[in-house]
Structure 1
């Protein structure tokens, strides 16, 4: 099984990035690739998996 990782920075809250993320989600789904999204937690200086 294949998996893709996407690191979502604060820029992912912009409308243009949200549109791009939607396209990426659909492309991965059609291709049968699991997409794991991660978010930067600047306060705790770590990366969190988005569920």
Structure 2
């Protein structure tokens, strides 16, 4: 039982960390200038749409 519970909490932690990384990446994307977005091949509207997505997606 303890091993199963430990595995469960590990999966929850991994999921939480991944979602936080995604949230921070989208926040950074939303702060880029148009020139910076052009450098990475992303339009302003694409960046805005991606930044607006919920963190769980």
Greater relative contact order, per chain length (Cα 8 Å cut-off, separation 6+): 1
TM-score, length basis structure 2: 0.33
Greater helix fraction, Structure 1 or Structure 2: 2
Between Structure 1 and Structure 2, whose CA radius of gyration is higher? 2
More strand by share: 1
